[in-house]
Homo-oligomer: A and B are copies of this chain.
Amino acid sequence: METKKTGIGLIGLGTVGRGTLTLLLNERARIRELTGVDCRLVLAAEVNEQAIRQSRLKKSLITRDWKAVVTHPDIDIVVELIGGTGLALEVITAALKNGKHVVTANKALLALKGNHLFPLARKMKRVVGFEAAVCGGIPVIRALKEGLIANRIHSLFGILNGTANYILSKMRFEGKSFAEALKEAQRLGFAEADPTFDIEGIDSAHKISILASLAFGRYFPFHQIHVEGITRVTDLDIRYAQDMGYVVKLLAMARLSDGGERPYITVAPTLIPADELLAEVNNEYNGVFIAGSATGHTLFTGKGAGGLPTGSAVLSDIVHIASYGETEYGRYTIYPAGLSGKTAPIDRFCSEFYIRLKVLDKPGVMARISGMLGKMGISIATLVQKQSAPDGDAFIVITTHRTEHRRVQQALSRINRLAIVDGAPLCLRIVNDLYH
């Protein structure tokens, strides 16, 4: 077996950068022996002095100037690990224009600017590897691009954000409030100081954009995705769901609409049956469920984030590109042959729903609300008055039969205006037919 020497340039030495570095150095000899690929770090760029110190790299391998990396003649693959959509876009564009292959963990950039990056890569005959952008420790990108290539994908569900999943798990198993669980996640490093992207579902939406684009063979950028976060889910909701045999997960979903070519793509806190495997993907773990036309149902679980799990994905891309780069360019990406997709309008999405209201604890309130729902054509499956709130109000939990998203939204905005209703109702989807 002939040895292929490949020069690596690393831009960004944060958590994932340092994880990648560790693996690149420690596994180099083993990988060379198994695959014939010899990955040598040529140069790393970082401006943060603390990150530089923590990397323990010798000075000759460090630069403060990322341009020195993307133009270095000995570098074949540029690894972009700075994140965000500003400088990172500039870095990747420059790397491609300088004839480098690129490996990135930057889901936001792909979900927002994939339509810029992939045509440029194609033009330059270079590869952009992005296994690390979704579910770090789970090789699901490779599975969709290669392992499941014989399948038409009908639907794909994912628990794609470890922070949100950690918070919901703590609320479920330890009865913590959202705020307590978030604080603990931050203390343990599972959540960032500004957790907005995680808890508002934005990070999950970036990732489902990438997975859905691969699954359906056209580009579904972030702005097409309907997103709801978990900030309004309370520990009570989680308990009520549990009483009915459900678990609340921040679920990313991409599913072809019935009879339609266009998929629904959404991220929202969702009730799924407690006996589904996906319901048991807990804490910081991620899970991806894929329904393929040939394989049927497959489920992949593992750690979605962290320096080493994500570094593992980065390195697998490096080895793949070093092995096959010259023949891989232009193949199957999230923006195949410039095909832009269009999602189905969420208004038409049908499912069952969970609605939790806080109401004045007075006779006739249940009748009034159920009557109103009935008039609007929403069929109630269960309606239960739960314990009273400290202020004397009562919680009502309603589950509906299958109905349209927009119909429920209309009903909720009417209910919200009622004087007997205290605060905005919470409405969550129930998905019983994961395996449909």
Contact = CB atoms under 8 A, between A and B. Distances in A.
Contact of A139 (B143, B152, B308, B309): B143
B23 A150 contact: yes
Contacts of A323: 324, 327-328, 331
Interface string A229-269: 00000000000000000000000000000000000000000
Central interface residue in A30, A313, A319, A332, by most chain B CB within 10 Å: A332
Central interface residue in A136, A147, A309, by most chain B CB within 10 Å: A147
A277 B275 CA distance: 11
A217 interface: yes
Given A149-B315, A280-B277, A280-B280, A137 B298 contact: yes
B302 A298 contact: yes
Nearest to A300: B300
B280 A295 contact: no
B137 A312 contact: no
Contact of A131 (B137, B147, B217, B327): B147
Interface size for chain A: under 10, 10 to 19, 20 to 34, or 35 or more residues? 35 or more
A300 B277 CA distance: 11
Interface in A19-55: 19, 23, 27, 30-31, 33-36
Interface in A315-354: 315-316, 319-320, 323-324, 326-328, 330-332, 336-337
Contacts of A292: 137, 312
Contact of A294 (B33, B151, B308): B308
Nearest to A282: B277
Given A36-B330, A152-B30, A324-B327, A302 B308 contact: no
B150 A146 contact: no
Contact of A332 (B35, B275, B327): B35
Nearest to A332: B34
A413 B66 CA distance: 69
Contacts of A143: 139, 142-143, 147
Interface in A183-200: none
Per CB-CB distance, the 9 closest pairs between chain A and chain B, nearest first, are A139-B147, A137-B295, A298-B302, A294-B312, A150-B315, A150-B312, A294-B308, A1-B330, A34-B332
11 contacts: A1-B330, A27-B150, A30-B217, A33-B337, A34-B332, A137-B292, A138-B298, A139-B147, A142-B147, A277-B277, A327-B327
Given A27-B149, A275-B280, A294-B309, 6 more contacts: A139-B143, A147-B316, A150-B315, A151-B312, A277-B280, A292-B312
